[in-house]
Amino acid sequence: MTSFNFSFADLFIYTWLVIPAVLWIVIKCVAIILPLILTVAYITYAERKIIGAMQLRIGPNMVGFFGLLQPIADAIKLLHKETIVPIASNKILFFMAPMITFCFSLAAWAVIPFDEGVVVANINVGVLYLFATSSLAVYGVILAGWASNSKYAFLGSLRSAAQMISYEVSIGLIIITVLINVGSLNLSAIVLAQSDTWFVVYLLPMWVIFFISSLAEANRTPFDLPEAEAELVAGYHVEYSSFAFALFFLGEYANMILLSALNVILFFGGWLPPFNLPIFQIIPGYVWFALKISAFLFLFVWVRASFPRYRYDQLMRLGWKIFLPISLLAVVLVAVLKLFRLGSI
């Protein structure tokens, strides 16, 4: 039987080396999560104002100057509403579902580089980590529909899960075309590989498919079939209210910001400026990153204000019969071109 000896030297190392490292990671996580939640709140405000302008309406304008306090008023309202739990529901899973969705939407940001060296975890398998977190987030949607013990919520969760899984296949294949050109799964390496030319120049058709698939992955218009009000009455979270609904709401918009960040990192140079000119180099990288994400968020809202909702059979046909064959063909063509450029063919 072995004994465990813990000396004062070990205690000193643990206190002065391990604990500061853990605290530093916590500080970095908080520095990302708090601005992200605030951004999510004001994306809802910006979305309502943009769609209002496109439809010749005013939008929020009563709470605060130009309605800027409307997101805070909405948050206070949600927090003060009664939490209604269906009698026949599975209580534990009912409350676990929104927490799973929200946590995994935030966990993905651990590997997103905001600037060179500005990332919580600069791991070499960042793309695989994103695949894992996005796949696990589906469980929150399925659990929400099943635990509610409502046919409408269950149908909404089945729709959403099938939709997310279907378009993740195309997204994964398109990311492979980017990885073939980079030769690394590290997201910072993907950005630095675009220092001369952004990948959108070489892979424009792939980016178009990736962006459309991002709309479907985030359950955004015109692919917001799980929330088809005419049939399912808000989809998988129809039985949720108060703070539990707020977690779903935050998770959905955080996922939209994440997909915008992935579009920027994979195809639009991440934190890199559009041109290697001294005047552009003055602006910090994280500012360029934020501006590009804002442009994509505007594009998400623009699509919502412009396009009608797809039918579910059209959604599945687009994913499996159009995007999947094109993505598979693109992987083969990009791989062949890469081998030809390296002189292996």
Q: Report yes or no: 8 and 221 within 8 Å, Cβ to Cβ.
A: no
Specify the pLDDT at position 327.
94
> For 55-62, which contacts have Cβ atoms below 8 Å and span 24 or more sequence positions?
55/305
Residues whose CB is less than 8 angstroms from the CB of residue 277 and which lie 6 or more positions away in sequence, other chains included: none
Residue 84 pLDDT grade (very low, low, confident, very high; cuts 50, 70, 90) = confident
Q: Phi, psi at residue 186, to the nearest 5°? A: -85, 130
**pLDDT tens digits, one per residue of 159-182:** 888 888 889 899 999 999 999 989
Q: Is the pLDDT of residue 5 over 80?
A: no
Q: Phi, psi at residue 202, to the nearest 5°? A: -85, -30
Residue spans of the domains in the chain: they are: 1-59, 85-342
Specify the pLDDT at position 102.
86
The predicted model gives 35-64 an average pLDDT of 89
Q: Phi, psi at residue 118, to the nearest 5°? A: -95, 85
pTM of the full structure: 0.88
Residue 200 pLDDT grade (very low, low, confident, very high; cuts 50, 70, 90) = very high
Tokens in use for 101?
């969705």
Specify the pLDDT at position 49.
92
**pLDDT tens digits, one per residue of 291-310:** 999 999 999 999 999 988 88
**pLDDT tens digits, one per residue of 115-142:** 888 888 888 888 999 988 888 888 888 9
**What does pLDDT average to over the chain?**
86
Q: Report yes or no: 189 and 113 within 8 Å, Cβ to Cβ.
A: no
Q: Give, as one character, the DSSP assignment of residue 335.
A: H
Residues whose CB is less than 8 angstroms from the CB of residue 254 and which lie 6 or more positions away in sequence, other chains included: 36, 37, 40, 102, 105, 106
The DSSP line for 138-186 is HHHHHHHHHHTT-HHHHHHHHHHHHHHHHHHHHHHHHHHHHHHHH----
